Amino acid sequence: MIVSVGICAYNEEKNIGRLLDAIKSQNLDKASIKEIFVISSGSYDNTEAIVMSYAERASRIKLLRQKTRRGKASAVNEFLKHASGEICLLISADVIPEKDAVEKMCLAFMDESVGMVGGQVVPSNRQDSFMGFVGHMLWGMHHKISLKSPKLGEMAAFRNVIKSIPEDTATDEAFIEASIRNQRYQLKYVPEAIVHNRAPETVADFLRQRRRIYTGHLDLKKRFGYRTSTMSAKVLLPIALSYFGWSPRRNLWAMGTIILEAYGRYLGWHDYNIKKKYHAVWDIIPTTKDVSGSGLRERNRPPIEIPSSPQKDDNAPQVKGR
C-alpha cells in the first residue's frame, strides 16, 4: 500500500522535528510511505525552517506554504490536491506515533470494505494531577466508545477517494468519516496503533478545545446529517460512570471531568446557535504543543528528543506511479 502523509501545521516548532523523525522511522512491511507533505498555514515561528532542513535531506518530505492561516480544513484540502498514494494518512502536527502505528493502521485496508482507519490516542500527561486525569479519562472514553463505534482523530488513514472537504468545518476528521461512510465504506478502529498527544493542561485550554469540537459536531449533524458516536449521552454516561471507584479523589476528579465536558459542550452549543461562531480557524491551545512529557516516561519510554540536525533519508522508498 502506497501512503501519502499529510501534516497540517501552524507554529509547531516544538514538535514538528520529532514528528518527522517518528514518521521516517516507522517499521513498515505491507505499507510504503511515498511522500510526506507538511502544510504550513501562516506559520511565523521556526516550523518552516525545520521542515526545509528535513526536506533538503529527504526528497519525499515537501513543504506546502499557505501565506495566511485559513483553518485546518483548508490545509487538508491542500494536502488532498497533492496526495498521490492510494492511502492518505492525516496526522496532527502535535502528536507522536509509535514505530509500528502506520503499518498496523494500513493492514486494516487489506479488507476492501474498510475505507477509514484510526488508532488509539494516549496522552503523554501525568495522571497525578486533575487536568492530567481529565485528559486520560476523555481519551480513555474515546477508546472504549471506538471499540464499539469508531470515532477517529489525531491520526487517521483513509482511501484516496475524497477530493475536498468544506473549508468552514471545524471537525475535519469527522467530516471525512461522514464522506467515507457515504461511499459505503466501513470505519475501523485499531487500538494497537498508538499515537501520543498532549491533552490540555489548564481548564481554559480544555474548554477552548472542547467547545470548538462540539460546535463542529453540531454543524456536521445539521448540515450533513452525520452524528459522531461521541454525541450520544446514552453512550457516554455509562462509560463515564465506570471511572468512579473507591477513591474519593478519583471520584471527585471524575465528576469534575463530567462537569467540564458538559460545560464545554454548552459553550459549543451557545457558539453555534446563539453567537453563530463556527471555529473554522481554531483558537490555539498552547499547553498541547509539546507532546514529549513525563507521561511517556511513565510508560517506560525515553523522552523524545529533537536531533541537532536531521539525518539523510537513505531508506526512503523508490516508488514510481501511484
Residue with cell 529533537: 306
Query: Who contacts 151 (Cβ-Cβ below 8 Å, separation ≥6)?
Result: 118, 142, 145, 189, 228, 229, 230
| pLDDT tens digits, 135-163 | 999 999 999 999 999 989 899 999 999 99
| pLDDT tens digits, 61-78 | 999 999 988 888 999 999
Looking at the predicted structure, is the pLDDT value of residue 233 above 90?
Answer: no
Looking at the predicted structure, is the pLDDT value of residue 187 above 90?
Answer: yes
Residue with cell 488513514: 157
* Radius of gyration of the chain measured on its C-alpha atoms: 19
Neighbours of 129 (CB within 10 A): 12
CA separation for the pair 78, 37 (Å, rounded): 9
CA separation for the pair 155, 141 (Å, rounded): 17
Is 157 among the domain residues? yes
Looking at the predicted structure, is the pLDDT value of residue 311 above 50?
Answer: no
Cα 201-205-207 angle, rounded to 5 deg: 120
| pLDDT tens digits, 101-113 | 999 999 999 999 9
On whether the CB atoms of residues 103 and 27 are closer than 8 A, the answer is yes
Portion of the chain with pLDDT greater than 90, in percent: 75
pLDDT of residue 26: 97
SS (H, E, C) the chain: CEEEEEEEECCCCCCHHHHHHHHHCCCCCCCEEEEEEEEEECCCCCHHHHHHHHHCCCCCEEEEEECCCCCHHHHHHHHHHHCCCCEEEEEECCCEECCCHHHHHHHHHHCCCEEEEEEEEEECCCCCCHHHHHHHHHHHHHHHHHCCCCCCCCEEEEECCCCCCCCCCCCHHHHHHHHHHHCCCEEEEEEEEEEEECCCCCHHHHHHHHHHHHHHHHHHHHHHCCCCHHHCHHHHHHHHHCCCCCCHHHHHHHHHHHHHHHHHHHHHHHHHHHHCCCCCCCCCCHHHCCCCCHHHHHCCCCCCCCCCCCCCCCCCCCCCCC
| pLDDT tens digits, 5-41 | 999 999 999 999 999 999 999 999 999 999 999 999 9
Q: For residue 126, what is the domain's CATH number? A: 3.90.550.10
pLDDT of residue 18: 95
| pLDDT tens digits, 263-283 | 999 999 999 999 988 777 767
Looking at the predicted structure, is the pLDDT value of residue 298 above 70?
Answer: no
Average pLDDT for residues 166-182, to the nearest whole number?
A: 89
Is 317 among the domain residues? no
Identify the bridge partners of residue 117 per DSSP, sorted by sequence position: 157, 188
Neighbours of 123 (CB within 10 A): 24
| pLDDT tens digits, 4-15 | 999 999 999 999
Give the number of C-alpha atoms closer than 13 A to the C-alpha of residue 121, restricted to the C-beta side.
29
- The mean predicted confidence, pLDDT, of the chain is 89
On whether the CB atoms of residues 45 and 282 are closer than 8 A, the answer is no
Is 316 among the domain residues? no
pLDDT of residue 71: 86
pLDDT of residue 282: 61
Confidence of residue 119 (pLDDT cuts 50, 70, 90): very high
Domains held by the chain: number: 1
Is 191 among the domain residues? yes
CA separation for the pair 247, 113 (Å, rounded): 44
Cα 26-100-118 angle, rounded to 5 deg: 110
Looking at the predicted structure, is the pLDDT value of residue 296 above 80?
Answer: no
Is 238 among the domain residues? yes
Is 93 among the domain residues? yes
Looking at the predicted structure, is the pLDDT value of residue 320 above 70?
Answer: no
Is 48 among the domain residues? yes
Q: Give residue 83's domain range.
A: 2-294
pLDDT of residue 313: 56
Is 123 among the domain residues? yes
Portion of the chain with pLDDT greater than 70, in percent: 90
pLDDT of residue 299: 40
Length of the chain counted residue by residue:
322
pLDDT of residue 202: 96
On whether the CB atoms of residues 188 and 143 are closer than 8 A, the answer is no
